[in-house]
Amino acid sequence: MDAVEAGGGVVVDPGEAEALVWTSAGMDPQTTAAALQEVLGNHRGIRWVQLPWAGVELYAEAGLLDHEHEWTCAKGVYGKPVAEHALALTLACFRHLKAFSRAERWGDQAGQTLFGRRVTIFGGGGIAQELLRLLSPFGCQVTVVRKRSDPLEGARILGWDRRNDALGEADAVILALALTEENTSFFAAPQFDTMASHACLVNVARGRHVVTEDLVAALTHGEIGAAGLDVTDPEPLPGGHPLWTLDNCLITPHTANTEAMAIPALAARIADNVRRFGAGEALEGLVDPDLGY
């Protein structure tokens, strides 16, 4: 409510509204999708819908993203904290911090530096752009795999059709892309076979990008060096799962962007978009219903 009013808007009942700020993100997926569908079905005057997170696969899979409404999400809003977390996981993998944190006695030296390393990022959105800035002081050679050919400063761009070409040469592969039907389970045994045995996989996107069983096998058999995961499939990852037991797999419980970080950032986006909507300006974080993100 405060964010809407800060943007010059007025909070009204849905029947009077032209725009809907949807913040019911805590429900289970089916419930929140059905609830949003009911609101939009009952209130035809709503023209714009602001969604709470950067990822919109929940609404895309439910068939809600249409061309009757203008859809926006929080893409780009959480780029800085998530990129920071991706960098932290990468450094932790390179420095073997999971194994060292478990050690109870002095052991052998291990680890590699990030300086001058080759990094492949899947996704060219806000997280990737922030990562490029964070990686710049390390002098990394960065390749970004994305659908659009738009250049990004500090990176070589490869199209989705060449997504495997930058794996064999990478010291670190970071997943930071939206989840769509096309890229669900796209990272599997063939990709791990292509990666170098010392390379690490870092996932701050969605767990369903990766075939979990293949990741377990790759980490267990030394096909890759390590993994840093903020997301998993399934999520939450159940106790006793093999990934928990591996010294070369560091897991954080989807905390790259915590609620405490997210609320002020989302509030600023809502206030800005309310102002833009009232002024007839282009909105930030537009969602393409055809692409699903």
Model confidence, pTM = 0.92
Q: Which CATH superfamily is domain 79-251 in?
A: NAD(P)-binding Rossmann-like Domain (3.40.50.720)
Task: Give the active site residues.
Answer: 206, 235, 254
Instruction: Place 25 in a pLDDT band, splitting at 50, 70 and 90.
Output: low
Q: CA 89 to CA 230: how far, in whole Å?
A: 9
Is the predicted pLDDT of residue 107 greater than 80, yes or no?
yes
Burial group, residue 243, by CB count within 10 angstroms (0-12, 13-18, 19+): middle
Taking only the tens place, the pLDDT of each residue in 221-258 is: 999 999 999 999 999 999 999 999 999 999 999 999 99
Instruction: Place 27 in a pLDDT band, splitting at 50, 70 and 90.
Output: low
Contact 98, 248 (CB under 8 A): yes
Residues of the chain with CATH 3.40.50.720: 79-251
Is the predicted pLDDT of residue 26 greater than 70, yes or no?
no
Interval 122-132 mean pLDDT: 97
What the block records as the tokens of 187 is 């990272």
pLDDT at 157: 98
